[in-house]
Structure 1
Amino acid sequence: MRFRHIFSETGAGLRQNLTMTLAVVMTMWVSLSLFGAGLLANQQVELMKGRWYEKIEISVFLCTQYSNGDQCEPNTEVTQAQKDAVQQALVSNPEVAPDGVFFEDKQQAWEDFQRAYEGNPIQSSLTVDQMQESFRVKLLNPEQYQGVVSSVVGLKGVDTVQDLHKYLDPFFRVLRFLQWGTIAASALLLAAAALQIGNTIRLATFARRREIGIMRLVGASNLYITLPFLLEAVISALAGAVLACATLASGVYFIIMRKAQVSIQSLPWIGWSQAGWAMAGVAAVGLMLSIIPTLVTTRKYLRV
């Protein structure tokens, strides 16, 4: 009997505040969709960083008689002593992975060049003597590379130091900006949804103030009085969360799986496992945004 009364009160409240309920559902739908998109974007960035950063090497190119670097002597090849000094600086650097320093001589560099440009007219443009010797360096943590670069860039015999971070870091900064921009926009909309829920509960308590007073007189507990309002908020939030999850699932399927994965197969792409985590986050945030404002509002306005 008690539960029947709670459910009937919940249904009556939803019907009486139908327009406000629909406004809450739509606001939750949009805001939770943006929040979930931000979570998916974060996972996509991490996947791409993991794939690209793990392949990053630092290349330390040594001087040749054709080099004009600041640490190169004109028309002079790098000496063996200079090579040893560069190698020692790399091997002793804590940012370098164990056994992560590889030396490439002119012959190996020329063979790599031939393979890379096979069939291209540029293939015959360089001779073995014109190639640069270099050290290829694997990093312990691909995101920590500044110490390695600074340890060798000023050594004698070093022409240039090359790494891909100067190209990848700006790209990931843009992705991070878009990601946090999406989350910030969703946070504003989620705050608006929480305020709407609180306002809806306030109007509902005001409209049913006589019934609340009667329940107080007959000894109804605060929990019993609050439950219909709490269920109204939870139902509205769950409806918005379900629509948001459907939106995220559609986006992952139609945009990522049907388009992006087919068009660019060389990149790692998020899938259903990542979408599942995002949907779980959306559902959790939706429930919190329904429960907390309701409890705060009812505590204030149920005093009759």
Structure 2
Amino acid sequence: MKLSFMLSEIASGLRRNLSMVVSVILVTFVSLTFVGSAALLQSQVGKMKGYWYDKVQVAIYLCSPNPETANCAVGGDGKYAAATAEQTKGIEEVLNSAELKPYVESFQYESQEDAYKNFQEQFGNRSMADSVKPEQLPASFRVKLVDPEKYDVINERFSSLPGVDTVVDQRQYLNTVFGIINTASLVAVIIAAVMLVCAVLLVATTIRLSAFTRRRETGIMRLVGASKAVIQTPFVLEGVIASAIGAILASGVLWAVLQFVVQDRLAQQNLNMAFIDPSEMLWVAPGLLIVGVLLAWGSSLLTLRRYLKV
């Protein structure tokens, strides 16, 4: 009897405040979509770090007629001189030394001709490619580290060697990309926080209106000895149900984005990049549902304490 009564009260409340309930669903849906997006973006950052940090290299650029720094020697004509064969051999010997064996997994030499060929493959369709000559590009050693975090060891050892122009850690380019994604995550969290506040206020307003429209019924229930839980539960469940629907919709949209945008398009167009897949929703979706239910439950109880004296 008690269960059927509660169910009828919940259905009645949802019908009476249909427009407000729809508003709660939509605001909860939008806010939790942003919350889920922030979580997925952080997961994507972790996925990319794990994938790219294993492939990251340190580039030891050798001196050329157009060096990046003033480390290179100046020839008799007053111009910078390219690294000599002896200097190049000396750098290779250091890379093969027992001193760096614990840090260097492998390395390869890229000549100016190789650098020019790679440049043309990457930028050959741009107008600037025609103005670049092989002698303008520096030769380099591409070093794969056992631990990418040990870049400072390589930098300190080679930055002052004769024939070395600059030592570049490719992680700095990746960190720029990760920084952009982290910024997007932060923006999503801020928007989500604002929308969650709106959702809490809407739930509170919906419950307050529902309690006001049914004040006569609740008065009668108090007179016949109904418990506090029996009177308040239908109101609380109205907000919880609306928020749960919003969380389910948010989870569905995020799953669709992961499947049809990330996996079916981005992943297929960028085979050399690591992307998260829809299985991430196995932990994101329950989290969104819990957040939505807890917010609705908490705001409903606080509202009822003030506007529904039992």
- TM class, shorter-length: 0.7 to 0.9
Query: Residue type of the partner of 1:32?
Result: L
Distance in 2, Cα, partners of 1:111 & 1:277: 49
Alignment of 1:33 onto 2:42: no
1:272 deviates by 1.9
Distance in 2, Cα, partners of 1:213 & 1:226: 12
Judging changes above 3 Å, is the alpha-carbon distance between structure 1 residues 35 and 126 closer, same or farther for their aligned structure 2 residues?
closer
Asked whether the equivalents of residues 89 and 152 of structure 1 are also in contact (C-alpha less than 8 Å), the reply is: no
Q: TM-score, normalised by structure 1?
A: 0.78
Asked whether the equivalents of residues 63 and 78 of structure 1 are also in contact (C-alpha less than 8 Å), the reply is: no
1:21 deviates by 0.7
Asked whether the equivalents of residues 60 and 141 of structure 2 are also in contact (C-alpha less than 8 Å), the reply is: yes
Alignment of 1:14 onto 2:9: no
Aligned to 2:4: 4
Query: Residue type of the partner of 1:100?
Result: V
Aligned to 2:23: 23
Distance in 2, Cα, partners of 1:146 & 1:263: 31
Judging changes above 3 Å, is the alpha-carbon distance between structure 1 residues 33 and 2 closer, same or farther for their aligned structure 2 residues?
same
Alignment of 1:78 onto 2:87: yes
Task: Say what the alpha-carbon RMSD is for the aligned residues.
Answer: 3.7
1:196 deviates by 0.3
Distance in 2, Cα, partners of 1:153 & 1:99: 13
In structure 2, runs of 5+ residues without a counterpart are 75-80, 122-132
Distance in 2, Cα, partners of 1:256 & 1:280: 21
State the secondary structure of the residue aligned to 2:58: strand
Does 28-37 or 189-198 show the bigger shift?
Answer: 28-37
Aligned to 2:160: 155
Asked whether the equivalents of residues 64 and 78 of structure 1 are also in contact (C-alpha less than 8 Å), the reply is: no
Aligned to 1:52: 52
Aligned mate of 2:207, from 201, 218, 228:
201
Aligned to 2:124: none
Q: TM-score, normalised by structure 2?
A: 0.77
Query: Residue type of the partner of 2:47?
Result: L
Give matches, 1:116-131, under 5 Å.
none
Aligned to 1:94: none
Aligned to 1:136: 143
Distance in 1, Cα, partners of 2:57 & 2:299: 51
Aligned to 1:113: 114
Aligned to 1:270: 276
Aligned to 1:164: 170
1:154 deviates by 4.7
